[in-house]
Structure 1
């Protein structure tokens, strides 16, 4: 029984769910754990009332911080603050809640230090800033609870490693610390809990016995394009979306990239000018002020639609939203469910989501995602391990404040999942990095950041301490430029590489407006409103993510359905029959245990198309390996293109295909050797090292408002990379760069599984007389590189017409 929850729920006319009562009971018993429940069913209150009851049942009320609530997003922090403060106000509790994020002003931070609130809602980076403050031990000594919200978002990132390390130190200060995670459903939920709670900490997994009802519908075009290409359909279906917007109170339209969000916002307004003022755009590069306005307007129900990216993926409660449109492939099952849950954000309500494909073949994904949702094919989140850059940063963080003893810290970090395998020699190498610059930089005084005094490692230099505090965090991205009007009004940020391609007078779309670049000054792109309708659309490097392994499996499953009885076809596959009939006629429609390979000769050269349906990133790696194996038989150079369904190798000369297949073209034998030989791993690791060097503090990334330019960061980190390669080849950070390339960029283990799967499949080799419906979208990816955008579209349209004729 929880008297606070019972009173509050009774006053609201609500009844608690079983998972809420189970969580209150577990917290009352002093247990840690992980809570998993559908969106909109009150996960926050399930944990919050347990914490409040423990506080008021305590014999002596803690005078410091009693609870830390960690969230990955500032917008989510504000949401939690509002919900928890409402409870305190409604029940007239003297349980104060504070908010500390990067936006919290200095005066408020100082107030929180002098008079701590009972609960502090914050982010992983802000926790580490507190650990970099003198006297943090006393500040946290009465801490009883840590709650990590949206843990599934953090567990597969280095920000999750920051949380693991912070918890290891907080447990040292407060041995009886109670830790709870709140997570959406992921494929490795039990592992996610174990990572959060750390070694030797048993916990309670609370799973709600509730299934969120999801209504899903794929929007089908009026006519089927049998030779599609990516983006070709997209905005042509704007008139399918407008009736959906008009029929609902408020609709979120999710795109996968910020550039796509800008394009859709523009097209919707052009098609329905009456939506002006009732439609908005939201993505991570817009200013905080603009994003907060959009979020507030959604809460108040004054917007009919918001075009957004993953910036609105997480559990912020916009109750007026009763419909979601997913534009383009959702790429992952969990992501699709998460976005669907943004609508119908109340217990018992149905989440409504429409899937809008951007080309004909993508319609097939509608059937795949429905199958994946029905069968619970949720992706696992791969946790980071041995992230030495984060550990090095953390060591300096502790040295900046009260210092640390090596033996004690080693024992602490060994209890985290990330560093469970770290040896004492590796730990000592990290110590050497922060005290002497490692084995190669010892002659440079600037890398002697930490000194050893009476067995305690400390930072004694104020400039070193200040620069380190400015660098705390594990979020890395390309250097951003601030977009401002001539009047000084700030619009948001855009990546430097995009602006560097523009000349003064060029126009581009941003924040839903056409802007003219006036000049570039320092890190500012000065702009003014532009007339006309044409401009470049920014693309953000961070917007490129591949389909998941489970989503690939669901896509391949659709071929099993296609070889079944026609009357059992899902609506999407039934609609696509003319496309599949054309594919059968000129080539083959593979089954789920076949690999289709098409070898086609056109005036452009000799094309090899392979269709593993594993996702773009895996295909890029597979294509490089296959190209290397072919060129090992006969010298050849290739151009490579790929999409989510397959890849293309294009060569000027005939390929030794039969010989290559006999020698194991798709074999796993010597696969990792061929990956190293066929892919420029070194250059990929060199670029990855830039991020690692920044997190580890080897490269200072600049002061607020004056970040280092990308080319300088790349040059500095590149110099360290070369020095380590030549003189310190076993350097931990250098090894980490290669590991991260294999694990996260190349997805080497997933690539191996793809080759392993293909070894058990029948290879179906076809030699069509022309491009097929499956091949055309991949061909279009390489074709676009040769022409300007308009010329490319026109030429592709002409080629498509010839094929259909």
Structure 2
């Protein structure tokens, strides 16, 4: 429904409500009205939503779309993509607010996995003028035979929280969907919203494709405070989780002093634990403190979100499920338990407080070990300096392409030449060769050279006109049920014996329970009763004790930006220690260096961590720029080699495997490996000859790819990665509703495909994709190469130890946790710390010499 073009003044609505638009909002309105695409990068709570929403109204007005004719609503013209279903309802409410005055003829709706079937049926009869949806639901719309008729009129697409999609396959899925919409409407306007990105220009180019985009930066004055809740007693030795229980009461006291508070953790099991800690300290807070994470039932999450909005809750313990743009205006404080592992994530979470223009935001870090004090100070410095991580699109993942070919074949069909050019317009596939495209097409057409005998893998076939379509209704149904790129371990509902769902837990956790076992989930103590029809039935436990529910999943690695900031701060601290104590630290306890302006020890976190840092200096060195700290220690277990490249968990896993393999090539040996974000430990039976490390032989770049594959159990890692690829590519079907396949069945199916392809279809490109993703994503091969090059250029500080240091002990604890019970671990640590304290009390060490200036050793 269009008419004559008219001028539209978005600012009038703001003025009627006593607000004044920001200059960046006016810039977006003007650009969108003129038909330009782009990216709006602004702080959380600055007004991004209304910048692009009123821009969409301006774009509609410029096209002549009716806004005030109430006889019939205009057809679908605006798509709003959100990365999380939980954001859809909140976004819809925000967009609806001005419509009564600005576009009374418009209708707005939402379509996600949570949308009721009755609402879906209404939308199938007539879509709203604006639709809030997710990448998966949009892709499902593209599978409809009427897709072009339904979506060709879309003139504006807005992608919210683009930084959350950009770096993963969901972002690639969005790129392909946008390419399809642009094919139908070359004048399509696309805008992305982002709050925390270090590479905004690249992010915009990835979103808008070949279009000339406009980058708008929203600069709104906003105070941001990043501080740390300092422990009363840091101690001289610390390890992962060491300070956690000590911080219980300080966290409770912070919540008491504040208004509504969000307490963020990095993983769900940690959220469950801290919820219990808060209630144990303050039982009277029952009903005022809540828990929120993605495994809880939708009704529970919605109750928590509403309680936050209305200010009824004193605190909510949450994971990344509340990271993104839901507007919780009453929230005054954000506490981050442990390290956020990245500057962008820290800023994102800080923005959950003071979520409005002009209101200050504050995030307080709660360390769980002493080294996180240093990390907190480094994160604050990096945030002030604008050292925010960038995100990059995956490069031409063929499993997503295979899925997309079937999607487009369902949604009206395609011809290969036209679709190849369309797919290449998506930046993720800009370098896609015709050979790679033809392989993917042949794979969905005939199953490749190993699956040709099975009709269910002949998923698309050309008709008489050469248009590829899906020939079978069963294939179509299975594809629609498997659309998407989110792959996780199979879960099963957790349901009361008498009815009512609490949430979902991974099947692997439930499989370890026996009837009568108690566990903690959703803040409740539950007794496991039985499993039936892929549902775990529970009843309320008689006691409050039980094992915490746990989830599989890798720990988040430290970002390179934050790692660099930590190294820089430790280097500055080492310089200040050397300047303050030029003849080495005295045997007695010494005060920290002066807290001069801009100095490392002007940071309260560094002064609090001084007991630990002082011990590290006495027993070894502090890491410094231009130098690689390596520590050697011998115990009853064997020979320990500790290396500290500060590359993050993923890189250290690859480095540890690589060095262990290269050392063993020089001299046969057996190694055990332990890693954290700061370094890694190689524990060997026989002494390690470190000469190959000192002269750089084990750090050589030559043969890196070959040695990496040889050092890893690459087949096992690739097989694990292939499980995800097989599900995205549609090879493995998860089952129909009420008849879901178990994790064991899915793993067996994907493993079977993996072995069949290896034996009978060695050129299958999904196999090479699995290997590539292991290296590029799990081990971060690109970053690993950078860290390896940096290590080659550094002077090595090789320090023999008599006892473990504050930096080496956490690595030992990581390994102990896999071998010892909690009680035995505590005893073991007590003995190690006692031995170290004896050495510190009566040091058989010469006085520490002055630290030499860093120098670069150039190796041939």
Choose which of 774, 783, 791 in structure 1 pairs with 2:807: 774
Contact 2:33–2:62 (CA under 8 A) maintained in structure 1: no
d(CA) in 2 for partners of 1:770 and 1:337?
38
Which residue matches 2:679?
646
d(CA) in 2 for partners of 1:649 and 1:666?
15
Contact 1:333–1:373 (CA under 8 A) maintained in structure 2: yes
Which residue matches 1:508?
519
d(CA) in 2 for partners of 1:493 and 1:793?
33
Which residue matches 1:180?
191
d(CA) in 1 for partners of 2:696 and 2:342?
35
Choose which of 235, 253, 256 in structure 2 pairs with 1:246: 256
The answer to whether the aligner puts 1:86 opposite 2:119 as a matched pair is no
Distance 1:49 1:594, change over 3 A: same
Choose which of 596, 600, 605 in structure 1 pairs with 2:638: 605
Which residue matches 1:331?
341
d(CA) in 1 for partners of 2:615 and 2:86?
49
Which residue matches 1:10?
15
Cα offsets for 1:737-786 (capped at 9, x unmatched): 11111110111111111111111111100111111111111111111222
Contact 1:2–1:49 (CA under 8 A) maintained in structure 2: no
Choose which of 371, 375, 380 in structure 2 pairs with 1:370: 380
Which residue matches 1:455?
466
Which residue matches 1:143?
154
Choose which of 61, 70, 73 in structure 2 pairs with 1:56: 61
Tell me the CA shift for residue 115 of structure 1: 2.0
The answer to whether the aligner puts 1:421 opposite 2:426 as a matched pair is no
Cα offsets for 1:279-324 (capped at 9, x unmatched): 0000011011110111111111100100000000011100000100
Contact 2:406–2:460 (CA under 8 A) maintained in structure 1: yes
Choose which of 361, 364, 368 in structure 2 pairs with 1:351: 361
SS in 1 for 2:682: strand
d(CA) in 1 for partners of 2:396 and 2:59?
36
d(CA) in 1 for partners of 2:544 and 2:450?
55
Choose which of 206, 209, 218 in structure 1 pairs with 2:219: 209
Which residue matches 1:280?
290
Tell me the CA shift for residue 730 of structure 1: 2.1
Cα offsets for 1:58-98 (capped at 9, x unmatched): 43548321101111011211111001111113546221111
The answer to whether the aligner puts 1:231 opposite 2:264 as a matched pair is no
Tell me the CA shift for residue 525 of structure 1: 1.5
d(CA) in 2 for partners of 1:659 and 1:216?
43
Which residue matches 1:539?
550
Choose which of 662, 666, 672 in structure 2 pairs with 1:629: 662
Which residue matches 1:387?
397
Choose which of 805, 816, 822 in structure 2 pairs with 1:789: 822
RMSD between aligned residues: 1.6
Which residue matches 1:527?
538
Tell me the CA shift for residue 578 of structure 1: 1.9
Choose which of 765, 773, 778 in structure 2 pairs with 1:745: 778
Which residue matches 2:732?
699
Contact 1:595–1:761 (CA under 8 A) maintained in structure 2: yes
d(CA) in 1 for partners of 2:660 and 2:43?
45
The answer to whether the aligner puts 1:728 opposite 2:761 as a matched pair is yes
Distance 1:731 1:111, change over 3 A: same
Identify which range, 316-325 or 428-437, moves more after superposition: 428-437
d(CA) in 2 for partners of 1:89 and 1:235?
52
d(CA) in 2 for partners of 1:698 and 1:502?
31
d(CA) in 2 for partners of 1:687 and 1:590?
36
Choose which of 305, 309, 312 in structure 2 pairs with 1:299: 309
d(CA) in 1 for partners of 2:561 and 2:738?
42
Tell me the CA shift for residue 689 of structure 1: 0.5
Tell me the CA shift for residue 497 of structure 1: 1.4
Distance 1:574 1:175, change over 3 A: same
Distance 1:92 1:192, change over 3 A: closer
The answer to whether the aligner puts 1:762 opposite 2:791 as a matched pair is no
Contact 1:480–1:495 (CA under 8 A) maintained in structure 2: yes
Which residue matches 1:467?
478
Which residue matches 1:596?
629
Cα offsets for 1:672-713 (capped at 9, x unmatched): 222111111121111101111111111111122432211211
Choose which of 37, 47, 57 in structure 2 pairs with 1:32: 37
d(CA) in 1 for partners of 2:305 and 2:173?
28
* TM-score with structure 2 setting the length: 0.91
d(CA) in 2 for partners of 1:624 and 1:450?
43
d(CA) in 2 for partners of 1:524 and 1:680?
35
Runs of 4+ in 1 over 4 A off after TM superposition: 1-4
d(CA) in 2 for partners of 1:641 and 1:97?
53
SS in 2 for 1:793: helix
Which residue matches 2:24?
19
d(CA) in 2 for partners of 1:532 and 1:640?
39
Identify which range, 280-289 or 4-13, moves more after superposition: 4-13
Contact 1:432–1:439 (CA under 8 A) maintained in structure 2: no
SS in 2 for 1:542: coil
Cα offsets for 1:378-436 (capped at 9, x unmatched): 11112111111111111111212311111111110011111111111211111111111
Contact 1:323–1:343 (CA under 8 A) maintained in structure 2: yes
Which residue matches 1:397?
407
SS in 2 for 1:558: helix
Unaligned 5+ runs, structure 1 = none
Which residue matches 2:352?
342
Contact 1:257–1:539 (CA under 8 A) maintained in structure 2: no
Contact 1:459–1:465 (CA under 8 A) maintained in structure 2: yes
The answer to whether the aligner puts 1:101 opposite 2:106 as a matched pair is no
d(CA) in 1 for partners of 2:87 and 2:178?
21
Which residue matches 1:432?
442
Which residue matches 2:3?
none
Choose which of 117, 124, 131 in structure 2 pairs with 1:113: 124
d(CA) in 2 for partners of 1:631 and 1:292?
55
d(CA) in 1 for partners of 2:508 and 2:65?
57
d(CA) in 2 for partners of 1:676 and 1:60?
58
d(CA) in 2 for partners of 1:286 and 1:599?
46
Which residue matches 1:133?
144
d(CA) in 2 for partners of 1:659 and 1:680?
23
**Number of equivalences:** 804
Distance 1:657 1:96, change over 3 A: same
SS in 2 for 1:10: helix
The answer to whether the aligner puts 1:310 opposite 2:320 as a matched pair is yes
d(CA) in 2 for partners of 1:590 and 1:264?
33
Which residue matches 2:850?
none
SS in 2 for 1:518: strand
Tell me the CA shift for residue 795 of structure 1: 2.8
Contact 2:520–2:548 (CA under 8 A) maintained in structure 1: yes
Contact 2:203–2:392 (CA under 8 A) maintained in structure 1: no
Choose which of 170, 177, 186 in structure 2 pairs with 1:166: 177
Cα offsets for 1:102-122 (capped at 9, x unmatched): 111222122112222110110
Identify which range, 7-16 or 386-395, moves more after superposition: 7-16
The answer to whether the aligner puts 1:669 opposite 2:702 as a matched pair is yes
Identify which range, 535-544 or 478-487, moves more after superposition: 535-544
Contact 1:257–1:543 (CA under 8 A) maintained in structure 2: no
Tell me the CA shift for residue 660 of structure 1: 4.6
The answer to whether the aligner puts 1:122 opposite 2:155 as a matched pair is no
d(CA) in 2 for partners of 1:34 and 1:628?
46
Which residue matches 2:858?
none
Contact 1:262–1:537 (CA under 8 A) maintained in structure 2: yes
